[in-house]
């Protein structure tokens, strides 16, 4: 898999897990969902995401 696919997988997993935690455990977990959303919006404009940097340093290949 490429960095881009891992990024979508991780972001989707974070959103799903934080929604479940917010519903079943504590509503403050919804703040983490908002943080993930803001990070995705930011990365759409800047083309930079901290998770992409981490994945590239771990040796995951990019599609380009």
3-state SS, one letter per residue, for the chain: CCHHHHHHHHHHHHHHHHHHHHHHCCHHHHHHHHHHHHHHHHHHHHCCCHHHHHHHHCCCCCCC
**Domain for residue 62, yes or no?**
no
Q: What is the pLDDT of residue 62?
A: 86
Q: What is the pLDDT of residue 63?
A: 79
**Domain for residue 9, yes or no?**
yes
The model's pTM is 0.85
Q: What number of other Cβ atoms are within 10 A of residue 3's Cβ?
A: 20
Check pLDDT > 80 for residue 64. Answer: no
**Domain for residue 45, yes or no?**
yes
Q: What is the pLDDT of residue 33?
A: 96
**Domain for residue 32, yes or no?**
yes
Could you give the number of structural domains in the chain? 1
- Domain containing 9: what range? 3-55
Check pLDDT > 80 for residue 28. Answer: yes
């Amino acid at each position: 898999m490429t960095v881009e696919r891992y990024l979508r997988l991780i972001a989707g997993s974070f959103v799903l897990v934080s929604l479940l935690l917010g519903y079943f455990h504590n509503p403050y977990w919804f703040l983490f969902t908002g943080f993930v959303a803001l990070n995705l919006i930011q990365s759409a404009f800047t083309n930079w995401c901290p998770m992409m940097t981490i994945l590239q340093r771990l040796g995951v290949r990019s599609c380009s």
